[in-house]
Copies of this chain bind each other. A is one copy, B any other.
Amino acid sequence: MRKRFGKQSVKFENRPVVASTASIVGDIEGAGPLGNYFDIILEDDMWGEESYEKAERKMYEMCVKNAIERLNITSAGIDCLLGGDLLNQLISANYAARQLKIPFLGLYGACSTITESVLIGSMLIDGGFGANIACAASSHFSTAERQYRMPLELGQLATPTSQRTVTGAGCIILSDGCRPDAKKAYSGCSVVVSCGTIGRVIDLGITDANNMGAAMAPAAADTIVTHLNDFNKTVDDYDIIVTGDLGTFGTEMLRDVCQEKGVDLKKKHFDCGAAMFAPEQNTVCGASGCGCAATVVSSYIIGKMISGEIKKALVMATGALMSPLANLQGESIPSIAHAIVLERE
């Protein structure tokens, strides 16, 4: 069977099964419209740790552990952990991997990390290189804010295009077949990854670190249009087209850019970042961060697929490859979006 399609896409012969998922979010995310879908809602975003960074690491580790536990196996049954986070040197993922003792491949795609992980994980499963592969990503409002923008103590006011980094971690375990031992309520034996599109780095010259949506929208548009061309599909072939964390401003921009390219997204598009918070939560343009798509896809989207409400979803997490240093040196903020297609069998 042909596995490579068009310019950037791949199709799986032995379609990896979404065998288990898990999500953990902070209290503000838990109070939002999707709150009921997350597995664990923290009361305190320090989670008993000494720093926000250590709390994020704990979310990452516990999230992977919970997904493994739901599969009724031990961590020794996981062939490989794929993933990362927003922090420099991927400290959440790396230190979690140290505790988990699972072979680990660190990835960095900023907020696109969860679909980058599932895309690579699916290629490894289909290629025969593992029976169970865990894919996970996390972010934390307080760790991201102080690394990428300003010290928290400044109490910086939100700008009109800003988004709130999600405090949360999501894990998706892919398997090379259905796992009948998995706890039924959690496992999604019925959901598979059928194909995907590897993103390119796109840059239209945005330089505002408080406007991630505008930086990421062109990358999302590029990946959607390429995906549809590579497989000769239209928007109508999908029940839903999910983006990671464009927020309300980025969502508008994505729809406009796609419209210009002859792709009408309006009826099918769902942005995790725009859906995460309610307007009265005052997060301006919504949510962002690795944890945004990771938590929403692993809970809400896959949940709706298991229940049969969604049959075919094109899911692309979007990453702004934002570097405070490169920004200070006059560089704009490039972005990337990796897409996967989830199908209910």
Contacts and interface: CB of A to CB of B under 8 A. Distances in A.
B84 A108 contact: yes
Contacts of A147: 325
A101 interface: yes
Given A128-B3, A329-B54, A105 B120 contact: yes
Contacts of A104: 198-201, 336
A54 to B, nearest CB: 7
Interface string A80-114: 10001001111100110110011111111110000
A31 interface: no
A336 to B, nearest CB: 7
A233 interface: no
A331 interface: yes
A325 B130 contact: no
A108 B104 CA distance: 11
Contact of A79 (B4, B103, B201): B4
Contacts of A90: 108, 321
Nearest to A338: B105
A98 B203 contact: yes
Copies of the chain in the assembly: 2
A53 B329 contact: yes
Nearest to A116: B105
A281 interface: no
Given A106-B108, A334-B94, A88 B3 contact: no
Nearest to A79: B4
Given A127-B3, A129-B127, A103 B323 contact: no
A308 B109 CA distance: 39
Contacts of A321: 89-91, 94, 106
A220 to B, nearest CB: 15
Nearest to A107: B107
Given A103-B199, A105-B120, A108-B108, A128 B325 contact: no
Interface in A303-343: 321-323, 325-326, 329, 331, 334, 336, 338
Contact of A4 (B130, B201, B202): B130
Nearest to A330: B50
Contacts of A54: 329
A271 interface: no
A51 interface: yes
A94 B126 CA distance: 27
A105 B4 contact: no
A106 B105 contact: no
Contact of A322 (B89, B127, B336): B89
Interface in A32-70: 50-51, 53-54
A207 interface: no
A98 B201 contact: yes
A10 interface: yes
Interface in A111-145: 116, 119-120, 123-124, 126-131
In the A-B complex, list the 4 residue pairs whose CB atoms are closest, starting with the nearest: A127-B127, A103-B198, A98-B201, A89-B323
Given A120-B124, A127-B127, A127-B129, 18 more contacts: A3-B128, A13-B128, A80-B198, A84-B108, A89-B322, A89-B326, A90-B321, A94-B336, A98-B334, A102-B200, A103-B198, A103-B200, A104-B198, A104-B336, A105-B338, A123-B124, A126-B127, A127-B128
